[in-house]
Amino acid sequence: MIDLKGIDHKYGSNTVLGIESLTLKPGTITGLVGPNGSGKSTLLRILALLERPDNGEISIDGTPIVTSAQRRRSRRGITLVEQRPFLFAGDVRSNMAYGLQRRRIDKGEAEKRILESLETLGITHLLERRVKALSEGERQQVAIARAVSLEPDILLLDEPTSAADRRATNVIYTALESQRSKGVTICFASHELENAYRFSNNLLSLAHGRIVPTTPENIFRVDLPNGHGSKTVQLNELSIQVVTEKEGPATIAISPDDFLVSTEPFQSSARNQFPGRVTSLSDDGHDRVTLVVNAGPEFVVRLTPTAVKDLSISLGSEVFLSVKAVAVRVH
Amino acid sequence: MDFFSEGLKRGAELALSGNPDVIAATLLSFRVAVVSTIVACAIGIPVGFYIGTNQFFGKRAALTLLNTMLAFPTVVVGLIIWGLLTRSGPLGGLGLLYTWWAIVLAEIVLAAPVAAALTAAAVQGIDPRVRRTAMTLGAGFFRTHWTVAREARYALLAAVVVAFGRVLAEVGAAMIVGGNIRSHTRTLTTAVTLATSQGDFALAMAFGFVLIALALTVNVLLQLFQGRGDD
């Protein structure tokens, strides 16, 4: 278990992190979300004991980590996989062996761990490959396998699937789930809210270096009925049309940009149309206005300022939201 | 033109003929260059490493000082060392003046800043992820630095070669503290100076050819090393 208390960190005069209190518990996966520059990577480097905060206390299993020797010793139990992980010149095998050698793991055990972790990530075929010949996605997978092979107590990952396709993404998160089930404390940063929501037990949102209440945009847990193709799911009192082959518990997500907004109902191909009232309206200053529309459940909707002006939308306006069934993503 | 081409021809013949003066100066130059480069790099590389990888008060001043020392006039360094080693100087009791050790000492003073400045530049250019990756994978202090050095190995090797080149080509300090004594402290460069002042262009060229051959050999070895280790 790792605890942060009163962490304050600056680059020059710019405060990049201000965390009052944060605890990561064993056997949990914490998803860290937030826009670029919100402090996710800095927080991960501080958790990994690679960067020393200007102020604050870091404790591991209740013991404050103060001295350099303590930091060095504690790092043996923590591994960070960076967003663009660095692989040392040479081949995949020598990279995999690096950390195991530092821990004086005997050769037979090291070889076993290398093969097992590569297999977990589905990349055993890369074992003898030169680092130079790897794609960005493969590098990321090798770096994750390299971290997993060390069997750390705390595994930290910065955007672990930023270069992965859908299949690789699933493999990576399955591997993380398997680590979690062994009691490893996992924390990953992701700009993909859906992934963070799907694969973590605990979602943490950062803005300007501070933890803020998480408001996942239009992500809902639903029960999918059996059958093929077009289905109707219930969201509170609202019926939503989705297209999926999946059945049972699932997560649906609608991008705030996929809604059409009108002030009157209209005929269209969109299978979903619901009336609602604008409960919040904020201009982000970058030609986008974010509305929260209460249509039973609340939906976050993004429009251009021109659209808001043309439709005369203001706080309390009655509007109609339309969204195509195929735009409702099912996970 | 005849004078020039004849001189070159005779110089080449002399260089290849096993002339005892050429052999003695070559061996001494090589010995001085190797010993000075080893000691200068043993001092300069760790200093450059420290400056390049750490943030501390006065870092810019340290880098400016190093860069100034790169352009330090060699005769001035020779003069200072001469002042220290001369019989009435503070280190006069060591009796090192006009020995090859005095040349080594001067060359160390000249080459160590080269090694330090180039090392600092090399490690500053290394991706900061290298250090973080080594640390997060469990490397301690020395292993982390070793890993950074390994990633910077070609640039570090270049620092060694440039330091070696500086020592091999240096003449001013070697002349002042070595005294250019035949078969004793006469290096290839001081021999070129003497032969030229005596009007023996061919002999000067013979020494010159050997100097070029030495420099070329070291650079070819470097190229081979880089080619083999390129990954």
- Concatenated DSSP letters of A246-276: --EEEEEE--GGG-EEESS----S-SEEEEE
- d(CA A213, CA A200) in angstroms, rounded, equals 16
Taking an 8 Å cut-off on Cβ atoms, the answer to whether A78 and B136 are in contact is yes
**Among A292, A229, A218, A227, CA closest to A252:** A218
- d(CA A78, CA A71) in angstroms, rounded, equals 10
Decide: pTM greater than 0.80.
no
- d(CA B218, CA B199) in angstroms, rounded, equals 30
* Tokens (6 digits) for B50: 């420290």
**Among A287, A280, A300, CA closest to A214:** A300
* Tokens (6 digits) for A328: 């409702």
pLDDT tens digits, A164-210: 888 899 899 999 999 999 999 999 998 777 678 778 888 888 878 88
Mean pLDDT for all residues in chain A: 90
**Among A125, A115, A127, CA closest to A90:** A127
Beta pairing partners, A23: A3
- d(CA A179, CA A156) in angstroms, rounded, equals 12
Handedness of CA A114, A116, A120, A126 (dihedral sign): positive
Nearest-CA distance A148 → chain B (Å): 11
The residue ranges of chain B whose pLDDT is under 50 are 230
The residue ranges of chain A whose pLDDT is under 50 are none
**Among B149, B126, B120, CA closest to B50:** B120
Using an 8 Å Cβ cutoff, are B162 and B114 in contact?
Answer: yes
Q: Which residue of B has its CA nearest to A90?
A: B231
Residues 6+ away with beta carbon under 8 Å from A170: none
Q: Which residue of B has its CA nearest to A98?
A: B137
The DSSP 8-state label assigned to residue A54 in this structure reads S
Taking an 8 Å cut-off on Cβ atoms, the answer to whether B133 and A82 are in contact is yes
CA atoms within 13 A of residue B41's CA, in its CB half-sphere = 18
| In B86-229, alpha helices (H) | 100-124, 128-136, 141-151, 153-169, 172-178, 188-197, 201-229
Residues 6+ away with beta carbon under 8 Å from A34: A40, A189, A191, A205, A206, A207
Question: Which residues of B sit within 8 Å Cβ distance of A?
Answer: 127, 129-130, 132-141, 143, 147, 150-151, 231
A-B Cβ pairs (cutoff 8 Å, strict): 53
For chain A, give the number of residues.
331
Contacts of B127 in chain A (CB under 8 A): 86
φ, ψ at A85 (rounded to 5°): -65, 150
* Tokens (6 digits) for A186: 């996992």
Residues 6+ away with beta carbon under 8 Å from A81: A140, A143, A144, A146, A147, A155, A156, A157, A158, A160
Residues 6+ away with beta carbon under 8 Å from B50: none
- d(CA A53, CA B28) in angstroms, rounded, equals 55
Q: ipTM score of the complex?
A: 0.71
The pLDDT assigned to A322 comes to: 94
Residue A27 zone, left/alpha/beta (φ > 0; ψ -120 to 50; rest):
left
The pLDDT assigned to A216 comes to: 60
Choose among A90, A102, A130: nearest Cβ to B137. Answer: A102
By the 10 Å C-beta count (0-12 exposed, 13-18 middle, 19+ buried), A165 is classed as exposed
